[in-house]
Chains A and B, each alone.
Chain A
Amino acid sequence: KAGVTQTPRYLIKTRGQQVTLSCSPISGHRSVSWYQQTPGQGLQFLFEYFSETQRNKGNFPGRFSGRQFSNSRSEMNVSTLELGDSALYLCASSLGTGGANTGELFFGEGSRLTVL
């Protein structure tokens, strides 16, 4: 069974530009979450989508947005890039069903963004 696929794997942008990252979850998974990792920080939760609806949102500015399509693929967008947005962005998929979720997250290999 194919894993979580993230594209692009690496990209370089300049301040003020915008970027779109893509994530294809494992087939059958309806939940897609996005995380940011910067040096010295743990994985910071950005948002989670389930069945095309944003179900949870972390503490990030409005420049960070996302969406999910009917096939569960998800994109995240960062507008007006800042130097501090340089990070590894990880996407994770899971079944996402159930109230008190105890499900396993399956991660992609990440998209490494460098902002110059």
Chain B
Amino acid sequence: ILNVEQSPQSLHVQEGDSTNFTCSFPSSNFYALHWYRWETAKSPEALFVMTLNGDEKKKGRISATLNTKEGYSYLYIKGSQPEDSATYLCAFSAPGNQFYFGTGTSLTVIP
């Protein structure tokens, strides 16, 4: 069983603030690291998948970086908006389509 840890567990930010969260994962036998966004009463939706050390991905105001050697990924949200409120999950995927998820970071953006 692979241990994927996310921090913080939850945070509240003011609208317009920028924020970031951390995902830690085993650095050995790395395959891929995924970020998902999960809004209340909806399905988790994929944000990014990263496979290479040093990868950086960006989608609008959200971006992510990957360090496979030290086993961490950061997710950044610039200028948070209320619609960014959600739980952000990271997952480490292993061969054979097996994903190991962290417990998520719950973000609340206060208008």
Contact = CB atoms under 8 A, between A and B. Distances in A.
A41 interface: yes
B5 to A, nearest CB: 9
Given A50-B97, A56-B96, A96-B97, A42 B4 contact: yes
A102 B104 CA distance: 20
Contacts of A56: 96-98
The contact size tier of chain A is 20 to 34
Contacts, number: 73
Contact of A103 (B36, B44, B97, B102): B97
Nearest to B29: A100
B43 interface: yes
The contact size tier of chain B is 20 to 34
Interface string B9-43: 00000000000000000000001101010000111
Interface in A41-63: 41-45, 48, 50, 55-56, 59
A54 to B, nearest CB: 11
Nearest to B104: A42
A4 B43 contact: yes
Interface string B75-111: 0000000000000010101011111111110000000
B3 to A, nearest CB: 10
Contacts of A55: 96-97
B66 interface: no
Residue of A35, A55, A104 with highest tally of chain B CB at under 10 A:
A104
B104 A105 contact: no
A33 B96 CA distance: 11
A16 interface: no
B109 to A, nearest CB: 22
Interface of A: 3-4, 31, 33, 35, 40-45, 48, 50, 55-56, 59, 90, 94, 96, 99-110
Interface of B: 1, 4, 31-32, 34, 36, 41-46, 49, 51, 89, 91, 93, 95-104
